[in-house]
Amino acid sequence: MKPWIAVSLTLAAALTTSAAPAIIPYPADLQLLDGSAALTPEQIKASINPEVLPTLGAEGYQLVVIPSGASIIAATEAGAFYARQTLAQLTSAGQTPCVNITDKPRYAWRGYMLDVSRHFAPVAEIKALLDELARYKLNRFHWHLTDDEGWRIEIKKYPLLTTVGGLGNKSDPKAAAQFYTQAEIRDLVAYAAARHITIVPEIDMPGHASGATRAYPAHAGGGSERLPNFTFNPGKPETLHFLQDILREVQALFPDCGVIHYGGDEVHFGWGKWDSLPEVAALKQKENLADKQAVEKWFNRTMGAFINTLGCDVGGWDEIGNAGLAPDRTVIFWWRHDKPAQLQQALQGGYKVVLCPRHPCYFDFLQNPAHKVGRRWHGINELPRVYAFPDASTLPADLAASVNHPRVLGLQACLWGETTATRARREFLTYPRLLALAEAAWTPAAQKNYDDFAARLKIHLPQLKQRGLTAYDPFANTAEIVDQPGPTTYLDQPGAKKKKAP
């Protein structure tokens, strides 16, 4: 008999009916036993046994606590790490309740995206964030490193990207340059890896390029009135080489990232000038491309194939789903909740998919209807709505089954930075919704129960504060944290100007 089965059987008689411990995300199977343990590190025995992979999977574990000790069995280091996270949450005031837990995640991809272009987040803050992602068993940190407001990743071959492209932010276009050095990035990649988190870098192209084109205007391909250099020039061979040089350095900095994300979103906001660029005209003729749409697809295919040659899958927002990228080497991030066809197209096209629709996964949307600053397009993203995802009404009926599609890798929250100038504000928007997302991504659908989650969250909220984090308390309805006092604004529908709240 396998040892973990033996342990379970000998303890089965000791089951109790006491209240479940406040573990987030809640384990797939938890049996509370009589008694408790005061564990010393020597009493915690962990073993890695690849043979248990069929039952526990690559991230699952069994954790048994009895008065004389604790045993952890997992197929991988990651599984053992998650067992220790659970054990840490079980233990308070030196006492650990006796339990028999068998646990594994619902989804392989449990992500959080942070936009550091609109407003920069210092290294210490990223480390504190990674600590929390690990604590709640999230395993992907998607780092949105470049956008119109600033380029935040040092690229040795093109130093102006950071010394010029890194200047300014959404609140202050004249702010001193802020970016991560390559040494800092290597340190953060190692810090994340030690916590079983993969950092997925995003270098947005061919739109949202103003940070880069400010530094290297020769690569600009036009834009809008507000962002005149919003795109790269897709017709210039030098521009493609420039981007490929950058991606090579990115791959070297994130050698185990698995996926390099190259954006691909919202190009149509600023591609008008492509119709009059001689380089684009030449590209159209050479590649037999009829229009801008075909040029965009060609660009996406070309750069996607290049990322694949670096040994990585290519990640992109759902706009890239019709470009003809290699299905088995591409991950589509479905973000346009109002365009379910994009999700359907990605799945039918054979692509792997991460679900991160604006509703309910964008954490820059309000979390309480009375709050004044943030997005509120046809609704807001309150805690229960995040928790219910992806099982309840947040998906159109014809897509409800797709959440269990084998190519749906998982779920991801995204924090865009337009209204997040300070760490306190970023954290206020992140916690506690991150915990709801964590449980949605880990715990089997049949085990999810919002009321039960809310009861456990009440125990976690003060702990978040004790760790120095800022969190919104939806039970006490604590005050909204905004960056600076000023006129009440929220960002309404696309294209609309900032409005006064009603």
Residues forming contacts to ligand ACM in the complex (CB under 6 A) are 265-266, 317, 335
Minimum CB separation from ligand ACM for residue 265, in Å? 4
Alpha helices in 288-339 (DSSP H): 292-309
DSSP-based three-state secondary structure for 412: strand
Q: Which of 6, 26, 14 is nearest to 443 (CA)?
A: 26
Minimum CB separation from ligand ACM for residue 269, in Å? 9
Take residue 421 and report the two structure tokens written for it.
Answer: 């100038």
Question: Got the DSSP string for 375-393?
Answer: B-SSS---HHHHHHTTTST
Q: Kindly report the CA angle at 405 between 403 and 411, in degrees rounded to 5? A: 45
Minimum CB separation from ligand ACM for residue 113, in Å? 9
| Residue number, 317 or 428, with CB nearest to ligand ACM | 317
Q: How far apart are CA 501 and CA 489, in angstroms?
A: 6
| Residue number, 224 or 463, with CB nearest to ligand ACM | 224
For ligand ACM, which residue has the nearest CB? 265
Query: CA of 77: how far to CAs of 23, 57, 116, 128, in Å?
Result: 20, 12, 30, 22
266 a catalytic residue: yes
Minimum CB separation from ligand ACM for residue 111, in Å? 13
The active-site residue out of 142, 196, 208, 219 is 208
The active-site residue out of 59, 115, 147, 149 is 147
| Residue number, 79 or 263, with CB nearest to ligand ACM | 263
Q: How far apart are CA 324 and CA 298, in angstroms?
A: 9
Take residue 148 and report the two structure tokens written for it.
Answer: 């119109």
Minimum CB separation from ligand ACM for residue 315, in Å? 11
| Residue number, 148 or 382, with CB nearest to ligand ACM | 148
| Residue number, 89 or 210, with CB nearest to ligand ACM | 210
Query: CA of 163: how far to CAs of 158, 245, 364, in Å?
Result: 10, 18, 28
| Residue number, 204 or 427, with CB nearest to ligand ACM | 204
Half-sphere exposure of 138 (CA within 13 A, CB side): 26
Q: Which of 7, 30, 29, 28 is nearest to 19 (CA)?
A: 30
Minimum CB separation from ligand ACM for residue 240, in Å? 23
The active-site residue out of 266, 391, 418, 480 is 266
**Which residues are marked as active site?**
147, 208, 266
